[in-house]
Amino acid sequence: MSTLTSRAPGTVGMTARYALMSTRNVYRNVRFLVLTVALPLLLFLLYVNLYKGEDTGNGISVVAYLMVSMASFGCIGAAINTGARIAVERQTGWNRQLRLTALPARGYLVAKAVVSMLVTLPALVLVFIAGATVGDVSLSAAGWLTTGLAVWLGLIPFAVLGLVIGFAGTVDTVQPISMITYLGLSILGGLWFPVEQFPAFLQDVAKVTPSYWLADLGRSVLVGDGVPITAVLVLAAWTVVLGLVGIMAYRRSGTKI
Amino acid sequence: MTEQKQRRAVDNPPVGINDAVHSPDGAAVRLTGIHKSFGKVQAVRGVDLQISPGEVVAFLGPNGAGKSTTIDVLLGLIRPDSGTASLFGTSPLQAVQAGRVGAMLQGGGLLPEVAVGELISMFAALHRSPMPVAEAMDRAGITDIAKQRTSKLSGGQAQRVRYALALVPDPDLLVLDEPTVAMDVEVRRSFWASMRDFTGSGRTVLFATHYLDEADAFADRVVVLADGTIIADGTGAQIKASVAGRTISAVIPGARPDDLSRLQGVVAVEQEAGRMLLRCNDSDAALRALLQTAPATHDIEITAGNLEDAFLELTAANRQESHR
């Protein structure tokens, strides 16, 4: 019986190990990484050309505003698409094989969320670098770090959303589902066009999306206004709700197809 | 952890003193009243099975007999609708997490886009006291394809990679779901040789197959599953005797098949070109009874049955009975 009581230590280490190995596998898929980063980066460079030097009138330059938007846009795509790849592992049956290891289910789920978070980094870092160099966005080192950290941590609900899609969808459906979710949230959340340009009813819709509050969080920290409580609460609420849905989807995925 | 694992010679009695210490109820596998349906399909309908440590058991049955579902239940991969499964006296999940169970799943997927060696190392990293990766690969005969991508493997190679994955936990119980599917004759032979070598150290093995000869050759005990229930359980020889009897072929004037099928030792009766074919599980008894009730019987021939045909017949007979 001591075999069973001695199993508590090591779970965290094993989860970390699995997260790193899986992240390495995703990072090896260069095509996937390029596709994740390319669109937000190219759009941002285009915007820099159009709006460089202009001001929003809200204490933030248009380019800085769009930098946060495009970084969020890219990161959301990376987080959702990475999670959605779980459907492929499920389809091939690799997922079942993993259940025959000492890695517990919650370790697996946490590790997969960590992978999604780590895969968002290239989009975040590259758009910020483009902002600092081509876009002339000037921030202190601490300013860059806190803004980056704010956006990154704000991605947690999106990482969980990716898992939900990965467990709820099938190989055939995850692609369209994640694409619609990714673009839908980006547009509705005002990452492509400022929410102020939306018709009134859509503005209300926008303020329910996690993407709106992700960008709000990032911009607020960027201009030095600190962490907005509303954004944190909305993002936390999304994380909790999606987490519960995710656990349900995970349980259901255990029963055979 | 390793020292706690059971290692006994195959020829020891199935339940030893040590086993009692490590598996409170003495059984490596204990399934009680397992039922599982998928929608309207009743895949498993009341399976009770106990396997003692050190036994090598074949799960024999045609496709759709419920072998894979039963295996999924005993591994804890799916929850039964009713009934309980325990491995070494604990829940399947606990046994799996303690590294006591290794399994080769049917059509079990391999992670795409990685090399075989990496895959095995990755899998080993998720166990507390795994077998050395090199040893698992060597036993499975995949050392030479370590650098190959998983997506570029032949069916037989993929099966051997799955076998290596099953060995990685250095398990006390090895569960193999149709392990030799997609293997050619040569590979199949070396697979069983390797399996024998591994189980020589007293591990418990349960393998599913639909080949009777495979079950007979490699298992101490054969459990026949059909339509989600166990219809026979015994040694290979016993199963063969009950499943694959002989056929008496004779001209039996005035006999009706219905009457003949009631004779002792007769399982089924067919008519063929003026002759009666009596499929028997005890041809001696059947012949005695036949000559007693129909002394005019002539042109008697007795032939040994084809195992596969007889096996199919038995499962078909069971099906008819259960629909009555």
pLDDT number for residue B48: 95
Q: How many residues does chain A have?
A: 257
Residue A198 has which token pair? 């939306």
Task: Answer whether residue B318 shows pLDDT above 70.
Answer: no
pLDDT number for residue B183: 84
Any domain includes A3: no
Any domain includes A2: no
DSSP reduced 3-state for B292: helix
pLDDT number for residue B15: 40
pLDDT in tens, B79-138: 899 999 999 999 999 999 999 999 998 876 788 888 999 999 999 999 988 999 999 999
Nearest CA in chain B to A253: B78
pLDDT number for residue B118: 93
Any domain includes A94: yes
Confidence of residue B322 (pLDDT cuts 50, 70, 90): low
Full residue range of the structural domain in which residue A168 is found: 8-254
Q: Which residues of A150-179 are buried (b: 16+ CB within 10 A; e: fewer)?
A: bbbebbbbbbbbbbbbbbbbeeeebeebbe
Using the structure block, give the residue that is written with the tokens 């459907």.
A87
pLDDT number for residue B317: 62
Cβ separation A254–B122 shorter than 8 A: no
Confidence of residue B208 (pLDDT cuts 50, 70, 90): very high
Neighbours of A144 (CB within 10 A): 17
* Strand pairing class (B56-60; B204-209): parallel
pLDDT number for residue B313: 61
Q: Is the CB of B108 inside 8 Å of chain A's CB atoms?
A: yes
**Percent of chain B's residues with pLDDT above 90:** 38
Q: Is the CB of A13 inside 8 Å of chain B's CB atoms?
A: no
Nearest CA in chain B to A14: B126
Nearest CA in chain B to A16: B126
With 0-12 / 13-18 / 19 or more C-beta atoms within 10 angstroms meaning exposed / middle / buried, residue B287 is buried
Neighboring chain A residues of B99 at a CB cutoff of 8 Å: 3, 102
Nearest CA in chain A to B122: A21
Question: Taking CA A190 as the corner, what is the angle to CA A186 and CA A191, rounded to the nearest 5 degrees?
Answer: 55
Residue A132 has which token pair? 């600092």
pLDDT number for residue A105: 84
Domain tally, chain A: 1
Give the closest of A2, A18, A96 to B126, CB-based: A18
Contact B114, A25 (CB under 8 A): yes
Query: Taking a contact as any Cβ pair under 8 Å apart, which residues of chain B between 25 and 54 contact chain A?
Result: 38
Neighbours of A97 (CB within 10 A): 23
Domains of chain B: 2-235 (3.40.50.300), 245-305 (3.30.70)
Interface probe with A: pick from B18, B38, B111, B178, most Cβ of A within 10 Å: B111
**Cα–Cα distances in Å, from A13 out to A246, B62, B68, B168, B283?**
23, 43, 33, 19, 64
Mean pLDDT, residues A112-139: 94
Give the closest of B99, B110, B111 to A102, CB-based: B99
Task: Answer whether residue A5 shows pLDDT above 90.
Answer: no
Task: Answer whether residue B314 shows pLDDT above 70.
Answer: no
Closest CA relative to residue B23, chosen from B222, B198, B173: B173
Cβ separation A93–B77 shorter than 8 A: no
The one-character DSSP state at B143 is G
Confidence of residue A158 (pLDDT cuts 50, 70, 90): very high
Task: Answer whether residue A1 shows pLDDT above 80.
Answer: no
Contact B127, B169 (CB under 8 A): yes
Contact A76, A149 (CB under 8 A): no
CA distance A39 to chain B (A): 25
Task: Answer whether residue A107 shows pLDDT above 70.
Answer: yes
Q: Is the CB of A24 inside 8 Å of chain B's CB atoms?
A: no
pLDDT in tens, B240-288: 766 656 788 899 888 888 888 888 888 888 888 888 888 887 888 888 9
CA distance A80 to chain B (A): 20
Any domain includes A150: yes
Cβ separation A102–B127 shorter than 8 A: yes
Alpha-carbon distance B165 to B175, whole Å? 11
Choose between A246 and A129: higher pLDDT: A129
pLDDT number for residue B307: 54
**Percent of chain B's residues with pLDDT above 70:** 84
DSSP reduced 3-state for B42: strand
User: In what side-by-side order are the strands of the sheet with B29-38?
Assistant: B41-51, B29-38, B82-87
H or E segment at B313? helix B307-323
Residue B129 has which token pair? 């006291």
Interface probe with A: pick from B42, B77, B90, B94, most Cβ of A within 10 Å: B77
pLDDT in tens, A54-70: 888 777 899 999 999 99
Any domain includes A1: no
pLDDT in tens, A173-213: 999 999 999 999 999 999 998 888 889 889 999 999 999 99
Task: Answer whether residue B186 shows pLDDT above 80.
Answer: yes
Confidence of residue B234 (pLDDT cuts 50, 70, 90): confident
Task: Answer whether residue B304 shows pLDDT above 60.
Answer: yes
Cβ separation A96–B1 shorter than 8 A: no
The predicted complex's ipTM stands at 0.79
Nearest CA in chain B to A256: B78
pLDDT in tens, A215-256: 999 999 999 898 999 999 999 999 999 999 988 888 777 654
Mean pLDDT, residues B215-236: 87
**Percent of chain A's residues with pLDDT above 70:** 95
pLDDT number for residue A19: 92
Average pLDDT, chain B: 83
Q: Which of B25-34, B194-203, B242-251, B313-322 has the lowest mean pLDDT?
A: B313-322
Closest CA relative to residue B163, chosen from B126, B188, B200: B188
Any domain includes A123: yes
Cβ separation A18–B125 shorter than 8 A: yes
Closest CA relative to residue A120, chosen from A175, A166, A83: A83
Any domain includes A120: yes
Task: Answer whether residue B17 shows pLDDT above 50.
Answer: no
Alpha-carbon distance A5 to A9, whole Å? 9
**How would you write chain A as a 3-class SS string?**
CHHHHCCCCCHHHHHHHHHHHHHHHHHHCHHHHHHHHHHHHHHHHHHHHHHCCCECCCCCEHHHHHHHHHHHHHHHHHHHHHHHCHHHHHHHCHHHHHCCCCCCHHHHHHHHHHHHHHHCHHHHHHHHHHHHHCCCCCCCHHHHHHHHHHHHHCCHHHHHHHHHHHHHCCHHHHHHHHHHHHHHHHHHCCCCCCHHHCCHHHHHHHCCCHHHHHHHHHHHHHCCCCCCHHHHHHHHHHHHHHHHHHHHHHHHHHCCC
Cβ separation A29–B76 shorter than 8 A: no
Residues in a beta bridge with B233: B223
Cβ separation B128–A256 shorter than 8 A: no
**Cα–Cα distances in Å, from B63 out to B14, B232, B263?**
30, 17, 32
Neighboring chain B residues of A19 at a CB cutoff of 8 Å: none
Task: Answer whether residue B6 shows pLDDT above 50.
Answer: no
Cβ separation A102–B4 shorter than 8 A: no
Average pLDDT, chain A: 89
